[in-house]
Amino acid sequence: MEERTSVVEVGEKIINEDGKPIVVKSIEVGRYGLLVKGALVLSGLDTFVLYPYELAAVDNLITRWHGWGVRGNHTLPCGADIGFVAFFRYDPRPRMMDEYDKEWERTPTEGVMQSRPTPIRLN
């Protein structure tokens, strides 16, 4: 059995907030999460979402969340839900990791992350 290197892999199907499958086309690792580019299976429409590290899934899709177009959750192939944020489809920013990292830096994360990393101190 091959060892997994990520919560989601290229070629896998994830289920979006509307219950529609998305095929993962590429994954970029950023400072604050994974940028997942995919395509809706039925329409072929491209999708771009950021899975911030440790962002909890939510019960309902939230629009206009702290500068993001939406916050929601997707269901991974293993059945686990993962939180995501995304730009609105008409947002003019390029769908590049740097843009997602910049927006996440402006996002207030107090109380929305499952845990926060603690700096390591070397005495």
Q: How far apart are CA 63 and CA 86, in angstroms?
A: 10
What dihedral angle (degrees, nearest 10) is formed by the CA atoms of 86, 77, 17, 39? 60
pLDDT of residue 16: 94
- pLDDT, residue 85, reads 96
The three-class DSSP label of residue 63 is strand
- Which pair of structure tokens corresponds to residue 109? 């994360």
Rg of the chain (C-alpha set): 15
What tens-digit pLDDT sequence spans the chain (123 residues)? Answer: 667 677 899 999 999 999 999 999 999 999 999 999 999 999 999 999 999 998 988 989 999 999 999 999 999 999 999 999 999 988 988 999 999 999 999 998 776 665 444 444 443
Q: What is the pLDDT of residue 119?
A: 47
SS (H, E, C) 10-48: CCCEEECCCCCEEEEEEEEECCCEEEEEEEECCCCCEEE
**Burial profile 67-103: b = 16 or more Cβ within 10 angstroms, e = fewer:** ebebbbbbbbeeeebbbbbbbeeeeeeebebebbeeb
The model's pTM: 0.85
